[in-house]
């Protein structure tokens, strides 16, 4: 809505591309809300990231899905996209691919972990491998002096009313998640 997930996605891309031989791409899903509604919500214009199609998922060696939280789960726009992957599910075209999540919530206690937990079912039905970051981000996972989104499930940020931007620590966690998943995807591809 306000660009927070996009900012995390760009850091994740940088992290993934810090792994030798890895190329990362950022996509967005199609918007389902009418322009009139988006205007009333004071949503900024969408980025120029291309709209992803289900078949483009098959080209990736690993996937990180990012979205804002709506009532503790992914928003309808992202769910609509995943609902369109039925053909990939039927053929299990995504089975064995490592994947994870990153997210933005409005406030603390607004679904930093439940968003990932409720999204895992999508990976399971596709036979994908859920790759959380766990506590691999190190001591910064335990930061208590500043507001920090994210959890062992993935990188995150707090958007509030849109005025708060991702902190340097949240961006560092996103970079780490990109690098972490890219390393795992590279190892899995190399062993195939």
Q: Measure the CA–CA gap between 53 and 46, rounded to whole angstroms.
A: 17
Contacts of 186 (CB under 8 A, 6+ apart): 19, 21, 22, 61
Round to whole Å and give the CA distance between 111 and 104. 9
Token duo for residue 121: 């079912």
Mark the ranges of the chain whose per-residue pLDDT is less than 70.
192
What confidence score (pLDDT) does residue 192 get? 61
H and E: helices and strands count for the chain: 6, 4
pLDDT of residue 97: 98
Q: What is the pLDDT of residue 160?
A: 87
Question: β-pairing, 156-158 with 63-68?
Answer: unpaired
**Are the C-beta atoms of residues 1 and 165 closer than 8 Å to each other?**
no
């Amino acid at each position: 809505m306000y660009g927070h997930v996009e900012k995390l996605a760009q850091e994740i891309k940088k992290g993934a591309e810090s792994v030798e031989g890895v190329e990362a791409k950022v996509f967005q899903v199609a918007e389902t809300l009418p322009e009139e509604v988006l205007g009333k919500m004071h949503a900024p214009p969408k980025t120029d990231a291309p709209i992803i199609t289900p078949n483009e998922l098959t080209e990736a060696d690993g996937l990180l899905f990012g979205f804002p939280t709506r009532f503790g789960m992914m928003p309808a726009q992202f769910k609509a996209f995943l609902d369109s992957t039925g053909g990939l599910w039927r053929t299990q075209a995504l089975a064995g691919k490592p994947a994870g999540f990153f997210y933005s919530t409005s406030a603390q206690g607004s679904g930093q972990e439940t968003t990932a937990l409720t999204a895992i079912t999508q990976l399971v039905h596709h036979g994908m491998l859920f790759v959380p970051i766990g506590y691999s981000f190190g001591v910064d996972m335990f930061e208590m002096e500043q507001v920090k989104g994210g959890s062992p499930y993935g990188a995150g940020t707090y958007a509030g009313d849109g005025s708060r931007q991702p902190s340097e620590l949240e961006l560092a966690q996103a970079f780490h998640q990109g690098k972490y998943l890219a390393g795992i995807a590279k190892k899995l591809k190399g062993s195939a």
